[in-house]
A and B are shown apart, each in its own frame.
Chain A
Amino acid sequence: MPAHEQETATAASIRLESLTKRYAGQAEPAVDNITMDIPAGEIVVLVGPSGCGKTTSLKMINRIIEPTSGRIFIDGEDVTHVNADQLRRRIGYVIQQIGLFPHMTIAENIGMVPRLLGWNRARISERVDELLDLVGMEPSAYRARYPKELSGGQRQRVGVARAMSADPPLLLMDEPFGAIDPITRERLQNEFLRLQSNIRKTIVFVTHDIDEAIKLGDRIAILTKGSKIAQYDTPEAILTAPANDFVADFIGSGASLKRLSLSRVRDVELNQWAVGRLDDDRAQLRQSLTESDHGSLLLLDEDQRPVRWVTGHDLTRSGESLDRVGLPATATVEPHATLHDALNEMVTSRVGCAIVVDDQRRYQGIVDMRTVMRAIDEMRESSQARDRHAAVQPMEAG
């Protein structure tokens, strides 16, 4: 499928209307009369404590679970009683355990729905390669592999690629990063956001992790038992003005720290650090270091990728080659990362700052404590302004 076709593919809006699910033999309904509008092209996160009915709500959208009562509309069309198999081919679905088909290659896994839809071989194969590229996996290396030959993170990527194979306007994701180690999870979340900024699908995303919800959601629905909506709003609004005690408790302490998850590295002004090239002359490097007001120099390789932090002392150790002295340049973040991620990296870095790199890992600048403090100040000011505004409003009305 040509790229432009994918960009123009529409996202779908969803409306849940008085949706209820009562499991046989249970006194209370698992989902009790939920009504909710999900706008096209947004990531809407359903978040709430375990057992509150998130999964049940999600699975009623593609009718893996049939609702007891209520209706589901996709793009205004009532799909409560249409053919479920055909409905599901238009909806991408990713679950925590992923469920790749172990007996099929990665290409066969991703090509499954297109095959069901009767695409020809050439088109399927082109689409598979396109999707592998999209999720950052080299097609020639992975096409013919089997799921058992992949790491957890790679399986997750293939799961997402498979869900998008027929370019559905709507994706349902049930704790897709829940079983992944924290470091990989963070990377996958960032990739996911980058992907979404290209594809602009409607995504309903379930998690029990409020931090994940804040990071990923355009809108968040905080659910209580029976899938009752405690608050449905943007992350900013939920953090600055929790609707009730349940929401405030669920956000937990450190709401202002969590708001760091609302700003992205690409939105703040980066600082520059003194840099040099690995193959530069040492005298020249010492010169740059002295001229800067930094205690160390960041060395880049020939592709502008950060390699080492070196001090003036390191540069005088003539015996060692430059890529052996100093400290490795770890603690890197991509522009999609949040300031919260950057802060995390910063505290693990011995230099006290996070290096910002682009998706080719090329050096862009750095984020340090001052950047973070500035962002916090700005957020505080804007929320105070909003509070003042909110306080003035009723008087004007009256």
Chain B
Amino acid sequence: MTFLDYISGVPAYLEREWSDLLELTFEHLLVVLVTIVLATVIALGLGLATYRNQSGARAVLTVTGTFLTVPSFALFGLFIPIFGLGAVPTVVALVLYALLPIARNTITGLRSIDPAVVESAQGMGLSRRQRLLRVELPLAWPIIMTGVRVSTLMIVGIAAIAAIVNGPGLGGPIFQGLSAIGTQRGFNLAFSGTLFVAVLALLLDGVLGMLSKLTTSKGL
């Protein structure tokens, strides 16, 4: 059978399994959203705590960078003894992967602000906290949001691998399909799983892009 033969079988499959696939996509989306919200909170905190401190910032970037170098199979597997199977180890592992882009962009964004702007804020009597909330974060925001978008794209893909710890989402059909590769059913499963992952990634990126634009000052 050629690739085209396989493809021609997909539409009928999609029609049959449409609602199941949507449900899995929704699960996938949920995992990604929870991951990104948690990762953003943590990475933003790490970034804010260390951006003015050379060695602190370097430590954060090194550690979060190291998470990214661990193969995802291994990382998911490592958490089984601690968290068992299912959604919890999935989200924990994914959060670790999502930290670096957000933390790095938070630090870069906050550091790229013109020192004169911060000094004038200080000179006007804005407290440390007011400077951060009213001046520094809004100015670094577009760069931080870019980090969030990069993490999101990455996590939508990696979340599929969570199926090996029985994680929720579109990894399920993809892995089943891969284990039955060479059959039409195997192809249907793997192909539609991948297709939905890709579409979800594009949609999320579009939504985040819009969100970033809406929440960034027109003066920047």
A87-B219 contact, Cβ under 8 Å, with A102-B139, A116-B130: no
Residue pairs across A and B with Cβ atoms less than 8 A apart, 6 shown, are A88-B125, A93-B120, A101-B117, A103-B135, A105-B219, A116-B126
Task: Check A146–B125 contact: CB distance below 8 A.
Answer: no
- B127 — which chain A residues lie within 8 A by C-beta? 85
Contact of A104 among B116, B126, B217 (CB under 8 A): B217
- Contact, CB under 8 Å: A86 / B125: yes
CB distance from A193 to the nearest CB of B (A): 23
Q: List CB contacts (< 8 Å) of B116-157 with chain A.
A: 116-127, 130, 135, 138-139
Central interface residue in A99, A102, A104, A112, by most chain B CB within 10 Å? A99
Which residues of the partner chain B approach A85 to less than 8 Å between Cβ atoms? 125-127
Chain B interfacial positions (CB closer than 8 Å to A): 114, 116-127, 130, 135, 138-139, 217-220
In the bound complex, residues from chain A placing their C-beta under 8 Å from that of B126 are: 85, 112, 116
Q: Are B125 and A116 in contact (CB under 8 A)?
A: yes
Contact assessment for A93 and B123 in the assembled complex, using a CB-CB cutoff below 8 Å = yes
Q: Is the CB of A64 within 8 A of B123?
A: yes
Which of chain A's residues have a CB closer than 8 A to the CB of B220? Answer: 102-103
Interface: A95 (CB within 8 A) = yes
A254 and B122 CA atoms in complex are apart in Å by 41
Q: How far is the CA of A104 from the CA of B218 in the complex (A)?
A: 9
A172 to B117, CA, bound (A): 16
- CB-based contact A99/B125 at 8 Å: no
Residue of B with least CB distance to A93: B123
Q: What count of chain A residues pass the 8 Å CB interface test?
A: 30
Q: Is the CB of A305 closer than 8 A to any CB of chain B?
A: no
Q: Which of A98, A103, A116, A147 contacts B138 (CB 8 A)?
A: A103
- State which of B116, B125, B135, B138 has its C-beta within 8 Å of the C-beta of A97: B116
Give me the interface of A with B, judged by CB distance under 8 Å. 62, 64, 85-91, 93, 95, 97-105, 112-113, 116, 146-148, 159, 162-163, 172
Contact (A113, B124) CB under 8 Å given A95-B116, A99-B114, A102-B117 = yes
Choose among B117, B124, B135, B219 the residue that contacts A148 (Cβ–Cβ < 8 A): B219
Q: Is the interface of B mostly helix, strand, loop or mixed?
A: helix
* Given A103-B139, A116-B130, residue A88 in contact with residue B122 (CB < 8 A): yes
User: In the complex, what's the smallest C-beta–C-beta distance from B141 to chain A, in angstroms?
Assistant: 8
Complex: chain B residue closest to A149, CB-CB: B219
Known contacts A85-B125, A87-B125, A88-B122: does B117 contact A99 (CB below 8 Å)?
Answer: yes
Compute how far the CA of A227 lies from the CA of B118 in the bound complex, rounded to whole angstroms.
Answer: 26
The smallest beta-carbon distance between A158 and chain B, in angstroms, is: 11
Closest chain A residue, CB of each to CB of B122: A64
Instruction: State in angstroms the CA–CA spacing of A101 and B123 once bound together.
Output: 13
A-B CB proximity, top 10 nearest: A99-B120, A146-B219, A93-B123, A103-B217, A97-B116, A89-B125, A88-B125, A99-B116, A99-B117, A85-B125
On whether the beta carbons of A112 and B219 are closer than 8 Å, the reply is no
Q: A98-B120, A146-B218, A163-B124 are in contact. List 16 more A-B contacts (CB 8 A).
A: A62-B123, A64-B123, A85-B125, A85-B127, A88-B125, A91-B123, A93-B120, A95-B116, A95-B120, A95-B123, A99-B117, A102-B217, A102-B219, A102-B220, A104-B219, A113-B124
Residues on A with C-beta less than 8 A from B123 are 62, 64, 88, 91, 93, 95, 172
Measured between alpha carbons, how far is A99 from B120 in the docked complex, in Å?
6
Q: What is the CA–CA distance of A116 and B114 in the complex, to the nearest angstrom?
A: 22
- Across-interface contacts of A62 in B (CB, < 8 A): 123
B115 to chain A, nearest CB (A): 8
Q: CA separation between A100 and B119, bound complex, in Å? A: 10
Q: Which residue of the partner chain B has the closest CB to A145?
A: B219
The distance in angstroms between the C-alpha atoms of A339 and B103, with both chains bound, is 58
A64 touches B119 (CB 8 A): yes
Chain B residues closer than 8 Å to A112, beta-carbon distance: 124, 126
Q: How far is the CA of A90 from the CA of B123 in the complex (A)?
A: 10
**B125 contact set on A, CB distance < 8 A:** 85-90, 113, 116
Residues of B within 8 A of A159 (CB): 120
